[in-house]
Structure formats: C-alpha cells, structure tokens
Chains A and B, each alone.
Chain A
Amino acid sequence: MDNYLITYHNPALPLVLGIKKLSDRLMNYFLAAYFVLGIVFALFYDTWLIAFGVGGLSLLAYYSARVFLPGSDLYQYVLSAVLGVFMAQYIYQMHGLFEMHFFAFIGSAVLITYQKWKLQLPMLFVVLIHHSLFGYLQNSGFTNIYFTKLNYFDFQTFVIHILLAAIIFFICGLWGYLLEKYSALRISQTLEMAELQKEAQLSAERKRNEQVLKNANEQLRVANADLETARHAADQANEAKSIFLATMSHEIRTPMNGVIGMAALLRESELTDEQRMFTETIVTCGDALLNVINDILDFSKIESGNLELESGDFNLRQCIEDVLDVFGARAAKLQLDLVYQIDEDVPLQIVGDQLRLRQVLINLVGNAMKFTEQGEVCVGVHLAKTGHGDILQLKFTVRDTGIGIPADKLSRLFKAFSQVDSSTTRKYGGTGLGLAISEKLVRLMGGEISVISEPNLGSTFSFTVSTQTGSSILVPYTYYSMREQAGKKIMIVDDNATNLTILKRQFEHWGLQPVLAGSGEGALSILDGDHTIDLIITDMQMPGMDGLMLAGKLRERYPGIPVMLLSSVGGEFKTHERELFVSVMSKPIRQHILSKQILNALQLKAAVPQDQATLTKKLSTGFCQKYPYDLLIAEDNPMNQHVIVHILKKLGYEPVVVKNGQEALEAANQKDYDLILMDMQMPVMDGLEATKLIRQTLVKQPVIIALTANTMAGDEQVCLEAGMDDYLAKPILLENLMNKLEKWHRDGVLV
C-alpha cells in the first residue's frame, strides 16, 4: 500500500529506483576496475601498500555505507569522494604523473549514471580541500609535500585549477540533472500518452457502446412499434369483441324480451289446462334459454375481460335465503332437504357483488339438486381467515348427498363445456358452462373453488371469497329480538340430523333451549318425561309418524303446547289439519320468518304485525292505485312496445307510447310526465340524447328509467351520466318493473 501510495504520488519513483539499482551494479564493476588499476600502477613503482591499503579502505568506505544505510543516498556521496581519493592515489602511485588527473573526469562522468548533479560535489570538495591544504602547506614551507613545481601558493593557478575542476563537475552535474529531467519528462509524457490511450480506448468503447445502445434502442423502437401495433390490434379485437357482445346482447335480449314478456302476459290470462301447460313450457323454455344466453354472454365477458364486479354492502343471510328460495319449490318436489348454516363469527353484512355471489351459489345449489335424488343439500358459510383491517376470507360450501363424482373426472369439472360424462348431458342437461363461469367469478372475487366427492355418497363444492365487513347502513334485515323469550324450551322434531343441528345452534344463539327429537315417537316419549316444553316445531315428512300425525297426538295429549310445522311449498291442508298448527312455515326457512313465528307462538298476543299477504296473481290494477304515474314509454320496437304496454295496462296504467327520442322530447315538452321508460337504442334520437335534452329543457323533471338490452360494464354509468335516474335490463321482468315503479314512487318523486 505504501509503495502504491509512493508510486501514485511520484510516478517517476520506479524509474528512479531502477536507475539507482542499475547504477549501483555499474559501480560494482567500476570500483573493481579502479582497485585493479591501483594494483597495476603499483607495478611501476612498487606502491603496493598504497594500492591495497588506500584502495581497500576506499572500497570499504563505499560498501559499508551502502550496506549499513541501504535506504539512504549517503553511499553515493561516499562514492564520489572515493573516486576523488582513487585519483589522488593514482597520482601518488605514478609519482605525480599529470595524466592521472584524467581520472577526475572519468569519476565525474561515471557519476552521471546516477542522474544526480549533487554527487559531483563531494569529489569537488576532495579536490578543493586537497589543493587548498597541500598548497597551504607547501606555501608554508613544508618541504615534504610534493604538490606542484612551484614551492609557493599561487592563487591564480589555484583559482584556475579549481574553476576548471568546477566546470568539469558542473558539466557532468548538469548532464546528470538534465538526464533526470528528461527521464521525468519522458515518464510524464509516457503517463500522458497512457492516459490519452486510455481515453482513446474509453472513447472507442463508449462509441461501441453507443452504437450497441443505438442498435438496442432501434430494436426496442421496432419492438415497441410492433407491440403498439399488436396492442392496437388487440384493442381493436377487444373492442370488436365488446361491440359484438354488446350487439349480441342487445340483439338477443330484445326478441327474448318479447318472448318472455308475452309468455308472462299469456300466463296471466284465462287459459285452459292444456294452454296453461303450453304457456308454462314456453315460460320455462324462455327462462332456460335466457339462462343459457346469460351464461354464454357472461362467459364471453369474463374471457374478454369485460366483466367487472360490483362492490356494495349487502346482507349475507338474505343473499343465501334468496338463493334457497329459488330452489324451494323444486326441493319440495324432489323431497330433498334444503338447509343453510352461517357460522356465528361470520359477519352478516359484507361488501361485494351480491349478484355474482348469488349466481355462483345458484349454480352450485342447482347442480347439487340436479344430481341428488334423495337426502339433503346444505349450504354453509364459514370464516376461513382474517387479514389486516376488515379484510376477511369467507368459505362457502354446498354439500349434497347425491351421486358423487369419480375422482378421475374431478379435474375436468371446471373446464368450459365439460361434463363429467357425456351421458350426463343427455340425462341431466346443461351446457357445461356453469362451473366454468363460477370458477372464473370466484377468481374475480379473490378466491378459489374446489370439490371433494365420493361416488354414491355425495359431493361438497367449496369456494372462498375475499371480502370485508360492510359498514353502510342497509335496509335492515328483519330482525326480531328473542331476548324476552330467553330460556324457553323449544322441541325440534326432524328426522334430518343436519336440520336438527342447524336449528339447535340457531335457538341456542337466540338464548332458547332446544330439545331434539329424531322422530314423532321420540318427541312423544320426551314429552312424557319433560313437561316444561314451551313450543314444538316439527318437520312434515318423517318416516313412520309424519308431522300431521304427531300434531294430532300432541293436540290430544298436550293441548297447551303450541306446534309449528315445517312444510314443503305446495302442501295443501284441510281446515281441521291447518288448525293443529299455530303456523306453517315453508322450507327453506328464512331466519326472520322463523324468529317471527316463534315469537308469535310463544307470546299470547301477536306482537308483530303480519306481513301483507303475497299476491296470488302478480298483475293487478290495484298496483296503479297504490303507485299512480303518468307514464311515457319511448321504445322503437313494436313487439317490445306491445309487451310493456300490456304489462302496464294490467297494472292499471295508461301509458303514452312514442317510437324515438325526438318524439319523447316533444311529448315531454307538451305534458308533464311523472315517469318515462326510455329505451336506449332508437332511431332519429337515441335515449341518451333525448334524456340530456329533457334534462336541459323541462322545468318539471320526470323520473327517467333506461330500458336497455346492453348489460356491459359501464352501461349503467353512461345512463346515469346522461341524466337517467335508473336502469332496467331487458328482457324486462315483471317483478323488476314493479319494484322500480314502487321504488320511485316511495322515494318521493311524486310527493
């Protein structure tokens, strides 16, 4: 490190050290020659003592200085003095032979090799001191010193001698000095050259790199251009796909609206049994076709990335119960138990896309029911894991006791257009898209779907969903407090163990004391021993003694205990049979209905208002009296005009119909309408344009609801941004229409 630092600070150092080493080696030869020369001169006049003595002492002086102080330059100065002494030695040996003075020049020249002018000085001092001393001594009359022919000190001669010697030494010193300077100059030039070469190399390297970079940039530019082109093409393809989907969605839904709407209207009219059967078939097929179309469109949307999930607060229990409601009738028909269970630690209000969650559950429950001939279908909701903040993962399971799925077929389940068995298609129907769509929807919801199955034992489909606890204030799920009934004993009679378990947990959660019985006989035997039962809830369909028979026996033996019945939808009772029960509940049981009925049964007086009786027929002119409107319909398609006008007339309305946006605008300007049903795609002026103009021109603004067959993401937003108040998807479902009319009347538009 020190050598590096020294070298760094003095780049000439290696050269200097090299010169020193080389010169020292040269001096070894010169000094040896000097010594030998002394011996040769000794031959002349037998001056052996001087040759060996003085010569040896001179060499000793030089080498001892060199050995003992190797790092010092002292030995070089000793060398200079030694060369002067050798000269004196030769002059003495040759008895004053003047030519011996040439050794001064030789010595001076030899010292140049060290490239140090200062080395001339010791020799000069030796000569100076010798001349001065001997001249003085001789001048003083010291006769035994031979020095010069003159026996007195001649100052001029002395000065000339010294000056001449000085000139010689000066020239040699200058030579050494210049050599050193030239070496240093050469070194610095070499270093500069090396720097320049390095710079040149770097420059060349830089140029090469620039070229490489340029080439790479060019390639990148080309690649980017290609990518841009590809992206543009992909965007165009995507756009084309989206347009295709939107157009197809519109083109398919518009006639479907006519088919389903007309079939619904037909069903409400007076029909013969055969006609009713035909009508039901049309309705069923229409619904089925709509489901297939929706599946296909959903699948296309997901594949093209056009499907976006909604994010809103909703009640989980209501969502599950809505799903089970869809299959309630079928479950009763197939005599399957359809139950659900939500764990206590699962928050009931969550954030997500209720519609899509329901879609997945409907698909799984539908499949479960399709492939289960007997037993039960149970929907469970569990808390899988919690994360930071309110983020949590819920696990939904749909368990059935159906035919099961062979293990080697499980891997194909979630693939599109795949069935477990091709014969399944013939026996059970289906497009094979349901599970594929469910799988993709579950992925969009941040979860995964899986299945475990045992042939002939059943299957359990599970999927997880990432969600968070909801915080918005929802229209409250009807909840009745059971606090006052805490501790009351409720007997549950059901042959289905799952049902028993679910109800037991629910009652314990309400603070009630459930008592379980697996059969009618078991219930009676428990009652014989326990007279503190406050309420009995019994299933209808049980082996041996069914619910009706049990209720009869209970009326005889324990008339004070109220009995509630869990019945499949569609069950008809005679009057005396109906009177055995304080209430009859339909399966699948909604929690709030169960709690309400239990409260009613346990209280002497009815504490809860009765719900309005559901309409036996949906279409009734009383609807218009309840929710009066001046209605304007803007629809260009005559079929759709016909459908909607008929529906509204059945509801008691007298709507005005126009066939495009321009006419709608003119009509709205002529009369104050309360609500306008505006189709989106119309000739002359479309619904969006008409809405914008209505919003700009009218003083009294009507409610404008869009009727559209487009169900792409963003369509609703477009409608709202245009100034529309709401959105109805085609084909228009009667219930949806009625809900919208009810909603906008209740929301205070008309008050």
Chain B
Amino acid sequence: MVKKGLVLIWLLALCFASGALFWYNDWQYQLPTPIPKNYHPVNTGTIIHLDSGFTPTAGKPVFLHFFNPDCPCSRFNMAHFKSLVRQYGARVDFIIVVMSHKTFTAQVIRDKFDLHLPVLFNASLATSCGVYSTPQAVILDGQHRLYYRGNYNISRYCSDEKTSYAKIALAGFLDNRPTFAFSRLALKAYGCRLPGCGN
C-alpha cells in the first residue's frame, strides 16, 4: 500500500514535469526575437530598393516574404504564405527572400513552396526593410515604399484570422484602407533571429 502510494506520488511528479516542459516550450515560443545590437529601425514610407535581379511590375505592390528554411517558424508559416499567394498573387508581386547561411538555389526554394516566385538571396534587403527575424512579411506599395513590416500572426499556428496581421495589412492596402494601426503583437518580431535561427 505504501509502495503504491509512493509510486502514485512519483507519477504525479512526472506528470507535472511533462506539463512544465510544455509550458516552458510554449513560453519560449512566446518570447519576442531579441533585437540585434546594431539594428536600425526602418519607418513605414521608406523607399526600399529591391534587388537588381528582380524586375517588378510597375505600379504593383510587392510582398516580401523573409524566409529561412532552417527556421521552424518559417517552415510552419509556409502554408499560410502559400494561401496568401493563392489569394493575392494576381494583384501583388510576391517575392521570397531567403535568409540563410546555407546555399540554396532558387529552384530548391520554389520547390519547397511549390510556387513559381522570384527568389532573392540578398541579406541586405532585410536590413533595408528593418527585418531581423523570420518569418516576416514586408509589404511595399506600388512605389516600393514600406507599407507594412511585421509578423504574420499573433500565434505561431497562424490560423487565427483576427490576428493574421500580414493578411490584414495586405487586404487593407489592396482595399485602399491604409490607415489602421497595428499592435505591438503585429510589429514586434517573433521568430528566428537572423542570420542563423537561434530562437
């Protein structure tokens, strides 16, 4: 009887330990990405010069998807990005900006997304846009002025429509409703640090 009691106590302890692990992991996910020391914020309205390797369509907004194949958050976000491309691909130029120390070919990246999109490997573009984590969405208007730079969603599961910030921004821009403010949750980056995924 005593032995059974001790075993039950032991099991309870293990149960709490499991719960603690889940809680810790979730807490880790909810921590914002640390801002780099030499970070220069880029204000909205700043003209962003794109890579010479890309020829934008005149007057079409540009959606830059900062993506790191090694970042789990980036990987999880892929489905959501693809849904945005499917929804707004005709009206917006979507570009994938790969942020990684590893060498990938554009085709490899395209295969990952199963989308024929331009792929840029220019890491300075992140600095130009004020991006320091992945995944991050940057929306440029027709004149390539920074309209939105921020998270895709409040939660990493990216399925909450109410907090689907990138989508909201894009939809608002395309609907000519540019003047609404985003909360800290949209603008404070959560995700993997650049250049390597250290989160």
Contact = CB atoms under 8 A, between A and B. Distances in A.
A61 B11 contact: yes
Given A68-B3, A95-B76, A57 B14 contact: yes
Nearest to B28: A49
B72 A44 contact: yes
A29 interface: no
Contact of B72 (A45, A53, A149): A45
Interface in B116-160: 154-157, 159-160
Interface in A13-58: 44-47, 49-50, 53-54, 57-58
B25 A47 contact: yes
Contacts of B60: none
Nearest to B15: A61
Contacts of B76: 44-45, 95
A88 B95 CA distance: 36
A54 B21 CA distance: 7
B18 A95 contact: no
B104 interface: no
A175 interface: no
A74 B4 contact: yes
Contacts of B21: 49-50, 53-54, 57
A530 B88 CA distance: 181
B22 A146 contact: no
A149 B4 contact: no
Main DSSP-derived SS at the B contact region: helix
Contacts of B11: 61, 64-65, 78
A50 B72 contact: no
Nearest to A78: B11
Given A64-B7, A68-B3, A69-B4, A50 B156 contact: no
A177 interface: no
Name which of A46, A58, A92, A95 has the most chain B CB atoms within 10 A of its CB: A95
A60 interface: yes
B18 A57 contact: yes
Contacts of B3: 68-69
B30 interface: yes
A610 interface: no
Contacts of A65: 7, 11
B84 to A, nearest CB: 18
B182 interface: no
Interface in B1-59: 3-4, 6-7, 10-11, 14-15, 17-18, 21-22, 24-26, 30
Interface residues of B, number: 27
A72 interface: yes
A46 to B, nearest CB: 4
A149 B159 contact: yes
Contacts of B18: 53-54, 57-58, 85
A64 B4 contact: no
Given A68-B7, A144-B26, A146-B155, A60 B72 contact: no
B188 interface: no
Contact of A96 (B10, B25, B157, B162): B157
A95 B14 contact: no
A92 B22 contact: yes
Interface in A375-409: none
Contacts of A54: 18, 21-22
Given A61-B14, A96-B157, A144-B30, A69 B7 contact: yes
A74 B10 CA distance: 13
Nearest to B185: A143
A95 B159 CA distance: 10
Nearest to B10: A64
Contact of B75 (A45, A57, A69, A72): A45
Contacts of B73: 45
A49 to B, nearest CB: 6
A69 B4 CA distance: 7
B26 A72 contact: no
A50 B25 contact: yes
A57 B17 CA distance: 8
Contacts of B156: 95
Nearest to A75: B7
Contacts of A61: 11, 14-15
A86 to B, nearest CB: 10
B89 to A, nearest CB: 25
Interface string A124-149: 00000000000000000001111001
Contacts of A57: 14, 17-18, 21
Interface string A294-319: 00000000000000000000000000
Interface in B60-105: 72-73, 75-76
A239 B10 CA distance: 105
Contacts of A144: 26, 30
Contacts of A96: 157, 159
Given A47-B25, A60-B14, A85-B18, A146 B4 contact: no
B186 to A, nearest CB: 14
A411 B30 CA distance: 130
A72 B4 contact: yes
Contacts of A85: 18
A44 B4 CA distance: 39
B67 to A, nearest CB: 15
Contacts of B159: 96, 149
Contacts of A74: 4, 7
Contacts of B30: 144
A460 to B, nearest CB: 98
A751 B3 CA distance: 119
Contacts of A58: 18
Contacts of A44: 72, 75-76
Contacts of A46: 72
Nearest to A68: B7
Interface string A74-106: 100010000001000000100110000000000
A74 B30 CA distance: 37
Contacts of B7: 64-65, 68-69, 74
A177 to B, nearest CB: 25
A285 B41 CA distance: 176
21 contacts: A44-B72, A45-B73, A45-B75, A49-B25, A53-B18, A54-B18, A61-B15, A64-B11, A65-B11, A68-B7, A69-B3, A72-B4, A74-B4, A74-B7, A85-B18, A92-B22, A95-B156, A144-B30, A145-B26, A149-B159, A151-B162
Interface of B: 3-4, 6-7, 10-11, 14-15, 17-18, 21-22, 24-26, 30, 72-73, 75-76, 154-157, 159-160, 162
Per CB-CB distance, the 8 closest pairs between chain A and chain B, nearest first, are A45-B72, A53-B21, A46-B72, A61-B14, A57-B18, A96-B157, A54-B18, A57-B14
Given A45-B73, A50-B25, A74-B7, 14 more contacts: A45-B76, A57-B17, A57-B18, A57-B21, A61-B14, A64-B10, A64-B14, A68-B3, A68-B7, A69-B4, A95-B157, A144-B26, A146-B155, A149-B159
